[in-house]
Amino acid sequence: MCGIVGYIGGRSAVPILMSGLKRLEYRGYDSAGVSVLKNGDIEQLKAKGKLSILSSILKDKPLRSRIGIGHTRWATHGAPSDENSHPHMDCKKEISLVHNGIIENYLTLRQELEEKGHKFLSETDTEVLVHLIEEYYEGNLEQAVSKALKRLEGSYAIGVICKKEPGKIVAARQDSPLVIGLGKNENFIASDIPAFLPFTRKVKHINDGEIVILKRNSVRIFDLDLNPVEREVTTVHWDASMAEKGGYKHFMLKEIFEQPRVVTDMLSGRLKEYSVEIEEMKLTDDDLRKINKVIIIACGTAFHASMVGKYFIEDFARIPVEIDVASEFRYRNPVVDENSLVVAVSQSGETADTLVSFKNAIAMGAKSIAVTNMVGSSITRETENMIFTRAGLEIGVAATKTFIAQLVAIFLLSLKLGVARGTIDKEKFREYHEALLRIPDQLSDVLKKAEQIRNIARKYYKCDDFLFLGRSLSYPIALEGALKLKEISYIHAEGYAAGEMKHGPIALIDNLVPTVVVLPRDSVYEKTLSNVKEVRARSGITIGITNKTDDPLDEYLDETIFVPDTSHQLSPILTTIPLQLLAYYIADKRNRDVDQPRNLAKSVTVE
Ligand code: AGP
């Protein structure tokens, strides 16, 4: 996730671009840059690090112009560096481009362009697009952009300027956000409305597959074939902080609702007919065949994703998997050798315990993979094998979309191991492939239950204790549901393996304690249902999350939240969402500081 901005009008462009980027910093902040048209040339400044670094460079070297584009980056391809920062330019330095999204077929395009003599300066996927536009440029920027975009697979929101056509910005979008701000004798592009909110509240929304030409006095929208398209103007009434959250009350809620898009991005370009391509992972199939043990280490929510990962890997690849919280792993004397694979899962890539444990296992000879959301984070410096979770910057301290992305990452890794080791056949692979592709739409269906879940939260938000139960793959999800509730609402919540109930926790049940049961239709459904009945028999309140619609569940459940059917291995991705929403609505009803709960930090860099 990155932020893009553009300005054309009568004022000085750079301060407007910089103020827009400042408001988009929530989308990423590992590097930033601007480029402007000045005296018939393109001038640009870009720098690794937060926007403040670019600001101070601009103080010494001001760029004066009335047209420009800018970018704040959150790396997906190529670590944060000056070279990988946007804008990117073509070989002749005539065209400059900013991009948010992922170009899936960039390696093929890059090879094709290099064969034609184009010289690349960065490791990014984005740079291919500016060279492609250069290749097609014959005096009309929008025509070149249209031709280039037709060659792309993936997602994009772009802004492009060209020194030969100094009176226009060309922008376009496909699966990445882009809005147009309409001013008086000035116009704006941005990834999100807050970027231009201080200057205008009049907005045109751009749809997928559309190209926009902005001039000082006009905004024209076209389809990809450059046929004109009409779009009404809307007026935004949000205040700046609401606008930054996309109209949601909290970042956490916004991030929960981003999850369909996150899964789409996670799968983008990675699933082939009978293989999983993870570009940032260098281990070969031969390496994967030699592994005789997998150790997954992580903390908190990432540990819950790792627990699910154990089921995936043992099921698909038939390798024994050991999981441990990193703060424990680092103080034991684990059995690790060169045939072990250590997988560290960390959203931030900075968690101290996870980092040290990972280094220790690598020092003992293990092969290694880091699953992280942060390209260029400390953990990525320990290994040459990564799986980036492409969830975009997560601002809410409670992890939501990064958890779902971690589940998908480990699922993909398990499939990859299974294919390499011959433990998963083509037919099974195809089934999972198809099931995965359905997940984004199914997630959107689960999100439609938000109002129902909000009503459930209103009923039970005063309860002081909650239990969460699940078996098999749903056990870690129960733990995650309990963690979400306690960290943002400060309610005491316990997650248990459902079969453990009768070994102690059942003593807690009375008519004031809601038990949330994760109950998908799987091989342990009947067993978990028996546990629900045990809770009911003791007057407990029961809230169930299930895809089993042919049972008279009302008899056993006070509240039932239905999720769509999927392969049972993928059910954790769907059953997690109601738990996130329940925690959110309960915490909000209790007026908690949802995005920054007390005593917590987004990344725990101390032991
Ligand atoms: C999750 O909601 C928490 N904020 C916390 O448990 C978190 O998952 C944990 O600190 C691990 O962080 P990491 O993924 O950045 O390593």
**Per residue in 344-397, pLDDT tens?**
999 999 898 999 999 999 999 999 999 999 887 889 989 999 999 999 888 899
- Looking at residue 606, its pLDDT comes to 66
Q: Which of 303, 306, 329, 347 to mutate to test the pocket of ligand 1 (most atoms within 8 A of CB)?
A: 347
Confirm whether 602 is a catalytic residue. yes
Q: How crowded is the C-beta side of 537, counted as CA atoms within 13 Å?
A: 9
Q: Which of 351, 374, 595 to mutate to test the pocket of ligand 1 (most atoms within 8 A of CB)?
A: 351
* pLDDT category of residue 192 using cuts at 50, 70 and 90: confident
Has residue 176 got a pLDDT over 90? no
Ligand 1: distance of its center to the CA of 351 in Å? 8
Confirm whether 204 is a catalytic residue. no
Ligand 1: distance of its center to the CA of 494 in Å? 18
For 422-472, what is each residue's pLDDT tens digit?
Answer: 999 999 999 999 999 999 999 999 999 999 999 999 999 999 999 999 999
* pLDDT category of residue 146 using cuts at 50, 70 and 90: very high
Has residue 603 got a pLDDT over 80? no
Ligand 1: distance of its center to the CA of 363 in Å? 24
Pair of tokens at residue 71: 């970018």
Q: Mind giving me the DSSP string for 432-485?
A: HHHHHHHHHHHHHHHHTTHHHHHHHHHHHTT-SEEEEEE-TTHHHHHHHHHHHH
Say which of 2, 254, 401, 416 is annotated catalytic.
2
Q: Residues lining ligand 1, CB < 6 A?
A: 299-302, 346-348, 351, 354, 397-399, 487, 603-604
Alpha-carbon separation of residue 61 from 44, 54, 58, 196, 336 (angstroms): 10, 10, 5, 24, 54
Which helix (H) or strand (E) covers residue 286, if one does?
Answer: helix 285-290
Positive/negative CA dihedral, 213, 219, 221, 222:
negative
For 397-412, what is each residue's pLDDT tens digit?
Answer: 999 999 999 999 999 9
- What number does the ligand 1 atom closest to the CA of 348 have? 15
* pLDDT category of residue 526 using cuts at 50, 70 and 90: very high
- What number does the ligand 1 atom closest to the CA of 402 have? 14
- What number does the ligand 1 atom closest to the CA of 298 have? 16
Average pLDDT along the chain: 93
- Looking at residue 552, its pLDDT comes to 79
Which helix (H) or strand (E) covers residue 16, if one does?
Answer: helix 13-23
Task: Report DSSP state, residue 61.
Answer: S
- What number does the ligand 1 atom closest to the CA of 602 have? 4
- Tell me which residue has its CA closest to atom 4 in ligand 1: 398
* pLDDT category of residue 194 using cuts at 50, 70 and 90: confident
Say which of 163, 293, 548, 602 is annotated catalytic.
602
Nearest to 494 by CA among 522, 520, 510, 475: 475
Ligand 1: distance of its center to the CA of 157 in Å? 30
Please name the residues in contact with 286: beta carbons below 8 A apart, sequence gap of 6 or more. none
Integer Cα distance of 446 and 572 in angstroms: 12
Strand order in the sheet with 340-346: 321-325, 293-298, 340-346, 367-372, 386-388
- Tell me which residue has its CA closest to atom 6 in ligand 1: 300
- What number does the ligand 1 atom closest to the CA of 600 have? 4
Contact 255, 484 (CB under 8 A): no
Q: Which of 256, 297, 329, 348 to mutate to test the pocket of ligand 1 (most atoms within 8 A of CB)?
A: 348
- Looking at residue 240, its pLDDT comes to 66
> For the chain, first and last CA: distance in Å?
29
Has residue 140 got a pLDDT over 90? yes
- Tell me which residue has its CA closest to atom 7 in ligand 1: 300
For 226-255, what is each residue's pLDDT tens digit?
Answer: 999 999 898 877 766 666 788 899 999 999
Paired with 31 in beta bridges are 48, 73
Ligand 1: distance of its center to the CA of 405 in Å? 13
Ligand 1: distance of its center to the CA of 300 in Å? 5
- What number does the ligand 1 atom closest to the CA of 406 have? 14
- What number does the ligand 1 atom closest to the CA of 403 have? 8
Percent of the chain's residues with pLDDT above 90 = 81
Please name the residues in contact with 328: beta carbons below 8 A apart, sequence gap of 6 or more. none
Alpha-carbon separation of residue 193 from 72, 231, 393, 414 (angstroms): 15, 17, 17, 39
Positive/negative CA dihedral, 233, 237, 242, 248:
negative
Integer Cα distance of 600 and 596 in angstroms: 7
- List, in order of start, the domains of the chain with CATH numbers: 3-243 (3.60.20.10), 251-447 (3.40.50.10490), 450-589 (3.40.50.10490)
Helix axes 571-589, 474-489, angle to 10 degrees: 20
Q: Biggest alpha carbon distance in the chain? A: 80
Nearest to 491 by CA among 468, 518, 519, 511: 468
Please name the residues in contact with 157: beta carbons below 8 A apart, sequence gap of 6 or more. 4, 99, 100, 101, 171, 172, 173, 174, 176, 177, 178, 191
- Looking at residue 102, its pLDDT comes to 87
Alpha-carbon separation of residue 475 from 328, 402, 434, 546, 557 (angstroms): 20, 19, 25, 14, 19
Ligand 1: distance of its center to the CA of 410 in Å? 16
Q: Is the pTM of this model over 0.85?
A: no
- Looking at residue 295, its pLDDT comes to 98
Q: Which amino acid is at 473?
A: L
Paired with 387 in beta bridges are 371
> Strand runs (DSSP E) across 502-546, as ranges?
514-518, 541-546
Pair of tokens at residue 585: 């609505």
Integer Cα distance of 289 and 252 in angstroms: 40
Nearest to 263 by CA among 467, 409, 141: 409
Q: Which of 255, 301, 388 to mutate to test the pocket of ligand 1 (most atoms within 8 A of CB)?
A: 301
- Mean pLDDT over 530-536 rounds to 93
* pLDDT category of residue 570 using cuts at 50, 70 and 90: very high
Q: Which amino acid is at 372?
A: T
Contact 192, 173 (CB under 8 A): no
Tokens 């997906």 belong to residue: 76
Ligand 1: distance of its center to the CA of 136 in Å? 46
